[in-house]
Amino acid sequence: MLTQLAAGAALLCPCLPAQAVSHVFLVQNSGWMEPFYADPASQFKPLVTELAAAVTQPGDRMVLAAFNQSLPGAPSPKALMSARVAEGAVRAQVRDALAGLQPARKPGSSALADTDLGEAVQAAIGTALGGKPGLVWLVTNNRNSPHNDQATARRNREFYQLIHQGGGIAAALAYPLKMPVEGTHFRADGLMLYVFAVGEQGARELDALLAAGRIAHVITEPPARLKPLDRATVRLVPRKVENAPGVSFSMAPDGMLRADVAPDANAPAAKIGWNLENTMYPYTIASATLAARSVLGFDTRDIRLDDASIRNLAPGHSEPLASVMQLPVAQLPGKWSLDAIRSAGSAFVLPGRIELQLSGQRLELSQTFRRRMEALFPGDPLPDIFVPPADIRGSRAVLPIEVRVHYGMAPLAALMGGALALTAALGAAAYAYARPRKAYLTVDGEPRTMMARAGTTQPVYDKAGAQLAQLKTTIFGHQLTGLREGAQVRLGR
């Protein structure tokens, strides 16, 4: 049934470099899509062409396939091209592959082909990608009607069960697009683009595409999130900090929260005002209970929230949230510590995170999105089932944080000054120890001068060569030892 797609997909199965990403583009060509092919003003094929050029990079593997519903003698999906992406070649390749594509007809009949969205997605994941990570792009008019089944609500529900319950799909987005077209048999107002990230590597690649704005180069509409709905559902943005002299908060361009702490700050806690933003378009958080904690170094502490609940927070909207957060004062090194000395002129960084848990979460499809879907797909019951699974009753958001203590150069300068002084003192001591010294003696009534270094012991002789004593020299002076009985020897003149 999937022979032709499998033949093209075979190029995706060998081991690829770790950075290579696989893309499968599924383009619907069933009867319901007739106006998108027939209308001379249709932007359907140019959209697919520009999308493929925007999201792929040289070295990626990609398959472009048309799909409707598989029947004996008419396999679906059907590969139109399969290649490794080359620099500057994708646009022309996709344009040429789509040029002759027209709505398919059933084998041995003039009737236009039906549609099976689930079949197409399963084939892309299981056959084209071979169960490996990648991205599946599905372009459809959103009419899921195998065998011309008019129970579209049930068929759409089956499709969304595949999305939410399919273990291979780690993330999914939907882009409802306005595209009015008119053909011989039908007219349509909208088109739907889905992207399914297969595996965690696929999810990371999708996140990278979104962060880089590469999809937004072609599609300016915000994506509707289908999956996951249990993490990164809200965002915390700091507004102000109170009762914490020497502490300030800011957001880094990469989304990291930074707490800059003066080295002499000793406030045990800070009152922080946040903006809590719903990032889960197109869902309104109708209600949820909040709990938060901070994890800094080896220290985990609860964050006290003034209001531990959310009510009717629409997507893209925010509401103020006040909190009291314990600061890790005891864990921060003192200005004279080794860590502080090492960080002089820069910052000592203590990494951590703020965790926000939403429990008892109840989501509702936003009315704005519902009206948009009804306008683009009139008569389609999809908005009624475009809802998260009932078992998703909670979510978790994590905000990375860095506590940064800025140490000046004074401790390091003082340490370097002390080290220089110690070095000088040691040098002076070494010189004093090694320098020869004069020792004045009187031997048998005659003055005598001897040269001696600290740490040495020398014999003292009389005129006949007999040893009378020993001269011991230290850094503190000289002394006579081993004096022979009756010898006339003394220090000095």
Containing 371, the helix (H) or strand (E) segment is helix 367-376
pLDDT on residue 403: 78
Burial class (CB in 10 A: 0-12, 13-18, 19+), 158: middle
Percent of the chain residues topping a pLDDT of 70: 81
3 vs 190, residue with greater confidence = 190
From CA 360, how far away is CA 128, in angstroms rounded?
A: 39
DSSP E strand boundaries for 244-317? 247-251, 257-261, 269-278, 283-296, 299-305, 309-313
Q: Which three-class secondary structure state does DSSP give residue 98?
A: helix
Domain identity same for 60 and 118 = yes
Residue 419 domain-assigned? no
Domain identity same for 132 and 21 = yes
Percent of the chain residues topping a pLDDT of 90: 33
Domain identity same for 260 and 372 = yes
**Sequence-distant (≥ 6) Cβ neighbours of residue 187 within 8 angstroms:** 35, 180, 181
Which CATH number belongs to the domain containing residue 162 in this structure?
3.40.50
| Residue that finishes a domain, picked among 195, 212, 227 | 227
Domain identity same for 222 and 257 = no
Confidence of residue 419 (pLDDT cuts 50, 70, 90): low
Half-sphere CA count of 281, side-chain side, radius 13 A: 12
Pair of tokens at residue 352: 């951590």
- The residue behind tokens 């040098």 is 427
From CA 201, how far away is CA 209, in angstroms rounded?
A: 12
Specify whether the CB–CB gap between 271 and 243 falls below 8 A. Answer: yes
Residue 287 domain-assigned? yes
Tell me the average pLDDT across 225-229.
Answer: 89
Other CB atoms within 10 Å distance of the CB of residue 105: 15
Domain identity same for 238 and 206 = no
Residue 421 domain-assigned? no
DSSP state of 273: E
Which residue type occupies 411? P
**Domain containing residue 190:** 3-227
Burial class (CB in 10 A: 0-12, 13-18, 19+), 119: buried
Domain identity same for 252 and 218 = no
Domain identity same for 27 and 79 = yes
Confidence of residue 31 (pLDDT cuts 50, 70, 90): confident
Q: How far is CA 206 from CA 131, 140, 355, 432, 464, in A?
A: 17, 20, 23, 72, 103
Specify whether the CB–CB gap between 32 and 146 falls below 8 A. Answer: no
pLDDT on residue 225: 92
- The residue behind tokens 């939403």 is 358
Residue 426 domain-assigned? no
Q: Please tell me which of 10-24, 53-67, 398-412 the model is most confident about, judged by mean pLDDT.
A: 53-67
- pTM for the predicted model, two decimal places: 0.73
From CA 216, how far away is CA 202, in angstroms rounded?
A: 18
pLDDT on residue 332: 55
Domain identity same for 485 and 401 = no
The overall average pLDDT reported for the chain is 81
Residue 430 domain-assigned? no
Pair of tokens at residue 262: 């003066």
Domain identity same for 153 and 212 = yes
Domain identity same for 223 and 238 = no
Residue 253 domain-assigned? yes
Q: Single out the residue of 223, 202, 203 nearest to residue 128, CA to CA.
A: 202
- The residue behind tokens 């001897």 is 450
Instruction: Count the helix, strand and coil residues of the chain and give each as a percent rounded to the nearest 5.
Output: 25, 40, 35
| Residue that finishes a domain, picked among 395, 411, 427 | 411
Pairing of strands 22-28, 134-140: parallel
Residue 54 domain-assigned? yes
Residue 422 domain-assigned? no
Confidence of residue 2 (pLDDT cuts 50, 70, 90): very low
Tell me the sheet residues that pair with 356: 292, 397
Model confidence pLDDT, tens digit, residues 46-94 = 999 999 999 999 999 999 999 998 888 888 999 999 999 999 899 999 9
Domain identity same for 206 and 109 = yes
Model confidence pLDDT, tens digit, residues 136-167 = 999 998 877 666 666 666 777 778 788 887 66
Pair of tokens at residue 202: 């696929």
Q: Which three-class secondary structure state does DSSP give residue 328?
A: coil
Domain identity same for 448 and 380 = no
Tell me the average pLDDT across 27-37.
Answer: 92
In angstroms and rounded to an integer, the radius of gyration of the C-alpha atoms of the chain is 40
Asked whether the bond before 72 is cis by omega within 30 degrees of 0, the reply is no
- What is the domain count for the chain? 3
Q: Please tell me the total number of residues recorded for the chain in this structure.
A: 493
From CA 207, how far away is CA 411, in angstroms rounded?
A: 44
| Residue that finishes a domain, picked among 227, 257, 290 | 227
Half-sphere CA count of 369, side-chain side, radius 13 A: 25
